[in-house]
Chain A
Amino acid sequence: MNIIAEHTSYLGEFLPIAVYVVIVLLTGVTMLSLPAILGPKKKIAGKGLPYECGVPLLGETRQRFSIRFYLVAILFVLFDIETVFLIPWAITYQELLGSLGWVVVAEMLVFIGILFTGYVYAWRRGGLDWD
């Protein structure tokens, strides 16, 4: 890896990821294209229908979803962003502990504390309940 990084640019360090992306794309394309080339093509009436675990269709494909799903999604995004801040904190924790002392822990405790209040509020108001 070092040899590659020395001879190419900074992006060369991410070559494994690029290889990974290419393999993933190739896998998907192969899985989709092979049946199209090799598979038999018989047109049966039921084939064009949406698949619903083998049972006859219930209603239409397009359905309005309850707003409750959206609340779950929003709460997920918000706590997702919280975790984003935990990553740089965890990585620099050792260094910062040396320069700032226990303030580092306090900083994160205040951050999580405020968000925990939000979590408790969401809990108490029934934001985590389905009914």
Chain B
Amino acid sequence: MDALVFLISGILMIASGLLVVTRKNPVYSAILLVVFFLLTSLNFLVLRSPFLAVIQVLVYGGAIMVLFVFVLMLLNLTEEELDEKVEPARKLLAGAGSVLLFALLAWAIHSSERIQAAGDTDLTGPVNDSAARAGETREIGQSLFSEHILPFEFTSILIFIAIIGAIYLTKTRSANERRTTEPAVEQPEERA
């Protein structure tokens, strides 16, 4: 059953992924991207990683998607702007870049010793092998807070830097300065 779920979700993932990049209207792309994230979550379940599966829905399907939707609303492209033709050279360059990134990722996964070792684990059998349980929340917590404590603490510094960056980019000047130099950004009307 695992193989069947993987096959179906894999095909649907490729289909939704292709649809995401080919849609003209970015709102459709965003919705299809949610479908893609949900299918990725299902794939994590097939790989026996319930923690990653839930995080995939919470962080990617929820939080990251909010950012995508916000960018769409901030740019607020009109129909004419969406119809704008993109140069073929640019499309080719973007395609080549994507293929290159994909190849790099595939090579990294293929040459990883850990993944090769995990490849021997039978995921279709009953769950008692330690490798098969590695994706469970308890196991992740165990290794994260004992073996990988340094990367964990560095994550907080990474998030800290992101907070400072976000504040710096959007709050470069104080509110008083902005009011005197330029008109305030147009606010969406308050609706009852």
- Interface contact A107-B153, CB-CB below 8 Å: yes
Flag whether A10 is at the interface (Cβ < 8 A).
yes
- Size bin of chain B's contact surface: 35 or more
Complex alpha-carbon distance, A72 and B141, angstroms: 29
Complex alpha-carbon distance, A52 and B191, angstroms: 8
Residue in B152, B163, B186, B188 whose beta carbon sits within 8 Å of that of A85 in the complex: B152
- Size bin of chain A's contact surface: 35 or more
Residues of A near B62 (CB, < 8 A) are 80
Residues of B near A70 (CB, < 8 A) are 67, 70-71, 74, 170
Complex alpha-carbon distance, A106 and B109, angstroms: 34
- Interface contact A10-B48, CB-CB below 8 Å: yes
Nearest Cβ distance between residue A12 and chain B, in whole angstroms?
A: 7
Nearest Cβ distance between residue B15 and chain A, in whole angstroms?
A: 18
Residue in B1, B166, B189 whose beta carbon sits within 8 Å of that of A71 in the complex: B166
Complex alpha-carbon distance, A96 and B152, angstroms: 15
- Interface contact A91-B45, CB-CB below 8 Å: no
Nearest Cβ distance between residue B114 and chain A, in whole angstroms?
A: 19
Complex alpha-carbon distance, A80 and B59, angstroms: 7
